[in-house]
């Protein structure tokens, strides 16, 4: 192993660029693998297409999951509503019924909005995202009815 040349104080000659990045006379400095400009480029076209597809899949799963939550909501209604008179816990049944569909609809809306903002108007990904927005929006509108009913207290 060659010892690099040193000056009168025992320091090595050459340019210091941080640990492990020494180069001496006649050696080229190591260039970074990726330039900073590459970090500011737009994402590849396929990424938004995948987001749009995921948004549509989640949007379709949202109303389909109501089939799973409906029996549980019926059981919650049986458990919380008394035989006579109003129930003190009317909020339980809508919560059980819309819990899983809203868990699918919320990320679907977020992904669809990202795609709508990033894609041009004529893109196929944008039309898929708009379909996901419509389906997820309907799920949220359905959930909003019982929620507003609880706020009004009628």
Kindly write down the DSSP assignment for every residue of 21-47, as one continuous string.
--B-TT-PPPPPSS-HHHHTSPPPHHH
Least confident of 14-18, 109-113, 136-140: 14-18
Instruction: Encode pLDDT of 49-74 as tens digits.
Output: 899 999 999 999 999 999 999 999 99
Query: What span, in angstroms and rounded, lies between the C-alpha atoms of 13 and 5?
Result: 6
Instruction: Encode pLDDT of 110-130 as tens digits.
Output: 999 999 998 888 888 999 999
Q: Which residues contact 73 (CB under 8 A, 6 or more apart)?
A: 93, 94, 96, 97
Output the average pLDDT for the chain.
80
Task: Place 103 in a pLDDT band, splitting at 50, 70 and 90.
Answer: very high
The pTM of this model reads 0.64
- C-beta neighbour count of 12 within 10 angstroms: 12
The residue among 86 and 21 whose pLDDT is bigger is 86
Query: What span, in angstroms and rounded, lies between the C-alpha atoms of 127 and 134?
Result: 11
Residue 15: beta bridge partners? Answer: 23
């Amino acid at each position: 192993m060659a010892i690099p040349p040193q000056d009168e104080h025992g320091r090595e000659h050459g340019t210091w660029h941080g640990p492990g990045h020494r180069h001496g006379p006649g050696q080229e400095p190591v260039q970074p693998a990726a330039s900073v400009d590459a970090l500011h480029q737009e994402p590849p076209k396929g990424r938004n297409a995948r987001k749009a597809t995921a948004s549509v899949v989640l949007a379709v799963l949202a109303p389909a999951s109501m089939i799973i939550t409906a029996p549980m909501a019926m059981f919650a209604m049986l458990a919380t509503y008394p035989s006579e008179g109003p129930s003190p816990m009317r909020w339980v049944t809508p919560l059980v019924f819309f819990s899983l569909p809203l868990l699918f609809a919320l990320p679907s809306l977020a992904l669809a909005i990202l795609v709508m903002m990033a894609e041009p108007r004529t893109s196929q990904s944008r039309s898929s995202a708009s379909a996901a927005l419509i389906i997820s929006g309907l799920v949220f509108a359905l959930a909003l009815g019982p929620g507003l009913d609880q706020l009004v207290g009628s």
